[in-house]
Amino acid sequence: MRRRDFIALAGAAAASVPVAARAQQSPRLPTVGFLVPGTPESHGKWVAAFVQRLRELGWIEGRTLTIEYRWAEGRNERMAEYATEFVGLKVDVIVTSAGGVIAAKQATSVIPIVFAAFGDPVAAGLIASLARPGGNVTGLTIQPSDLAGKRLDLLREVVPGFRRLSIMVNVGNPALFGKELGELQAAASTFGVEATVLEVRRAEDIAPAFDAIKDRTDALYVFSEPLMNANRIKINTLALGARIPTIFGFREFVDAGGLMSYGANFADLFRRAADFVDKILRGAKPADLPVQQPTKFDLIINLTTAKALVLKIPESFLVRADEVIE
């Protein structure tokens, strides 16, 4: 048989194979289940940083890698539902943060889990130690408890006569704030500041919490987690209306009108999470990958909000800020 006739015959045979059968013969791409605790608006930039870093490492979505995205919008029940779904899909690794980490761990002890940002994974029982995680979970911690006192000190610098602090927490995620809350309360006691905890479980609880502290507080410390992040515009609108200075754990709150933030650079954390995924997809085990800590911290202040609150920010403070929003 001539070569030309063979090629034609082979082409005809291939065309006669059903599309579904040919698809089954194609090798399955490695699959990442990305359980995002927030929304595209609240977490989109961080997810984009993760995907960009994967591209740099040779993992191109749709060509060498499949990413299944699920957006929980700050709702714990959705995180649990999506984590279970990923187990059913048999993804190769789950990437998540905050409450999504706990949901993923409860859903599987086999599939590797990479957390892009989590408070204290040891205290939460997710890992044995930072250096030797053990099990199927590893990633990056945001060290919130180490920063609580620093944030309180920053408030003292810009809020005259600061004596009363309100602390807004989502009590539906106790593993995310326990240690940080303890350190914050201890710092408040040291500084002679009266601290009151506002317990929130859902978005509908936020407005009543502000009603409870109207004219009864000098500043508001908001715990940075998915529910708060998804409702950051609402929180800032209510705070500005009540003339309450605010501080947060990351800059997206300040972009949305909050007074200031101090904490780890989340875009950098999500970017570095891609390195964990790369190693795991190439054969590394989460148990052998030490948990890493932040290397970039940002102090951001919204000068427009400060002026609306009639706060005069010291020049020395502005010089230290990584960014001043005007």
Write the pLDDT tens digit of every residue in 197-249: 999 999 999 999 999 998 999 999 999 888 898 899 999 999 999 999 999 99
Structure tokens at 226: 């998915």
Longest dimension (CA), the chain: 95
Distances in whole angstroms, Cα of residue 278 to Cα of each of 57, 60, 225: 7, 12, 26
- Asked if 36 and 68 touch (Cβ cutoff 8 Å), the reply is no
Structure tokens at 51: 């995907």
> Residue holding tokens 């082979």?
10
Of residues 286 and 180, the one with the higher pLDDT is: 286
Closest C-alpha among 261, 245, 254, 253 to residue 309? 245
Closest C-alpha among 233, 217, 166, 161 to residue 195? 166
- The whole-number pLDDT of residue 178 equals 67
Backbone phi and psi for residue 302, each to the nearest 5 degrees, phi listed first: -100, 105
- Which pTM value belongs to this model? 0.79
- If you count DSSP H runs as helices and E runs as strands, how many of each does the chain have, helices first? 14, 12
Apex 267 CA angle, 306 and 50, nearest 5: 155
Domains, the chain, with CATH or none: 26-142+265-296 (3.40.50.2300), 144-264+298-325 (3.40.50.2300)
Give the model confidence (pLDDT) of 66-124 as tens digits.
999 999 998 889 999 999 999 999 999 999 998 899 999 999 999 999 999 998 899 88
Sheet-wide strand order for 31-36: 66-71, 31-36, 93-96, 113-118, 137-141
- The whole-number pLDDT of residue 320 equals 95
Structure tokens at 223: 């715990």
Sheet-wide strand order for 219-222: 194-200, 164-170, 219-222, 246-248, 260-264, 297-302, 323-325
- The whole-number pLDDT of residue 103 equals 95
Give the model confidence (pLDDT) of 160-211 as tens digits.
999 999 999 998 876 666 678 888 999 999 999 999 999 999 999 999 999 9
CA–CA dist 211, 201 (Å, integer): 16
